[in-house]
Chain A
Amino acid sequence: MKTALREYLLALADDELILGHRASEWCGHAPILEEDIAFANLALDEIGHASLWYSVLAEIEEQDPAVYPDRLAYFREPQDFRNIQMVELPKGDWAFTIMRQYLFDAYEQVRLEALSQSGYEILAQVAMKIRQEEFYHYRHSSAWVRRLGAGTQESQRRMQIALDELWAYTGQLFQPIAGESELIQAGYVIASENLKDKWQDKVYPTLIESSLVIPATPQLHMNRQTHTHHLEVLLSEMQSVARLEAEANW
């Protein structure tokens, strides 16, 4: 059970951490000042959510919750991360960033809604807390998708390219997480593949309303152990300062 919980919590946390890091790369570079502030906030939120999930894991594994999240974020190797590939892809242009954020935010809405009814108390509590903030993320990214999709010819073109590039990766959102069946049996989680219909119900109408075409490309099905080379590059930067001096008190 502990192994299954570890895999599940790392999946939740690592997605947030890596996406949060990608979002933070816009700090100082977003298209307008207001959005720069908004996106930096959002990056911090995601990293904060990762930290919450790592703390839950710390409790389960009887580790110090003040130290363990940093250990997990900064001292694991790429092959030990359990995030999906979509979040590790380079930030691309603003259209790509917004589209990725949107597709992921919609997924989080669905995943967190299910988790907030978990039979495992702490999972439900943390999911409810994160969900509050994620409502706003979803509003923010969907507002951008509608405006860029139904905006100018150029913004529509870029959004469609982003959607086409990202589509295959969305399959991984609904792949079973290692050990998941054990957690389903315990009443802790619902099957990841059962989240897909709800996600589609959210995403399809918004995309269509935004003058975008749902790609016909098949969605890839990979487990969360396989990563692109982008993760290694991302981590070598993200972890570089912490690894300068493992025991330093920043």
Chain B
Amino acid sequence: MMSDTQWPRFQVFVQEQLDAPHQDAGSVHAPDSEMALLNARDVFARRPKCVSMWVVPTEAIYSKTAEEILNQPPIGTEQSASSVLEPAPSEKYHVFCKFKHAGTQIQVGSAEASGPAQALEKAFEKYSSHHKPLVWWVFPARMVTQSDPSEIGSLYEPAQDKMFRMHTQFHTLTAMRDIEQSKGRK
């Protein structure tokens, strides 16, 4: 059987300023989490503001839409069989929600749970009242690889004084045309 030669996918979360929540920026492929963090810096923080970055293996993210939750409440679903046999120790899960169809997943808080289904259940109790999220993501905090705050200066700050220029700011096309024309005259 042909195996998938792609590297694993990591979800990338960016924090734009210290008191802001982390937000989903997109994903990168990388052989491991350290490389994922480095790749993510180049793909997602070359220009935009960034003070902290997380990468999480995409497969570690447990995701449910509001619709799925309505149709099939998370209480004691997928996880139940295994957790009965072998109760996992309780740990911290990060909770992210998407509130608009065109929006991104935004960090809303965390929950202590012994499995992703339970984490989602607790998150739902805690956070569903105020904003009516459309999509829920939960993942164990231990799956996060995050940028080292002492490295902000080398990873993200240099981007701040780099100018972003649209292609229209370069005169290449007109310059080339002028050169052609002056050659034609000669």
Q: Mark B166-180, 1 if CB is under 8 A from A, else 0.
A: 000011100100110
B interface: dominant SS: helix
Is B38 touching A132 in the complex (CB atoms < 8 A)? no
In whole angstroms, what is the CA distance A140 to B36 when docked?
11
A139 and B170 in contact (CB under 8 A), knowing A34-B28, A248-B179, A250-B175?
no
User: What are the residues of chain A within 8 A of B34 when measuring CB–CB?
Assistant: 143
Bound together, the chains give a CA A8 to CA B155 distance in angstroms of 28
Count CB-based A-B contacts (< 8 Å).
62
Residue pair B158, A133 in contact (C-beta under 8 Å): yes
B43 contacts which chain A residues (CB < 8 A)?
A: 34, 37-38
How far apart are the CA atoms of A195 and B37 in the complex, in Å? 31
Would you call B38 and A140 a contact (CB within 8 A)?
yes
User: Does A244 lie within 8 Å of B179, measured CB to CB?
Assistant: yes
Bits for B136-152, please: 1 = Cβ < 8 Å to A, else 0: 00000000000000010
Asked whether A38 lies within 8 Å of B39 as measured between CB atoms, the reply is: yes
Among B31, B151, B171, B172, contact of A135 (Cβ-Cβ < 8 Å): B151
Q: Are B42 and A132 in contact (CB under 8 A)?
A: no
Known: A34-B42, A143-B38. A132 touches B28 (CB 8 A): no
CA distance A37 to B39 in the complex (A): 8
8 Å CB interface, B48-86 against A: none
Asked if residues B38 and A38 are in contact (CB atoms below 8 Å), the reply is: yes
| Contact for A136 among B29, B155, B182, CB less than 8 A | B155
Interface size on B, residues (CB 8 A): 28
CB distance from B43 to the nearest CB of A (A): 5
> Residues of A within 8 Å of B, CB-based: how many?
23
Q: Which of A155-199 contact B (CB under 8 A)?
A: none
Establish whether residues B46 and A136, one from each chain, have CB atoms under 8 Å apart when the complex forms: no
Do residues A147 and B35 form an inter-chain contact, with CB atoms below 8 A? yes
When distances are taken between beta carbons in the complex, the residues of chain A under 8 Å from B112 are none
Q: Which residue of B lies closest to A134 (CB)?
A: B154
Given contacts A133-B154, A244-B179, A250-B171, contact A139 B31 (CB under 8 A): no
Question: CA A159 – CA B169 in complex, angstroms?
Answer: 41
A41 x B178 contact (CB < 8 A) = no
Chain B residues with Cβ below 8 Å from A32 are 7, 29
From residue 1 to 46 of chain B, which have CB atoms closer than 8 A to chain A? Answer: 7, 28-32, 34-35, 38-39, 41-43, 46
Which residue of chain A has its CB nearest to the CB of B41?
A136
Asked if A249 lies at the interface with its beta carbon under 8 angstroms from chain B, I say yes
Cβ of A38 and Cβ of B158 under 8 Å apart?
no
With A34-B29, A245-B179 given, can you name 10 additional A-B contacts, CB distance below 8 Å? A32-B29, A33-B29, A34-B42, A38-B42, A41-B46, A45-B158, A136-B41, A136-B151, A136-B154, A250-B171
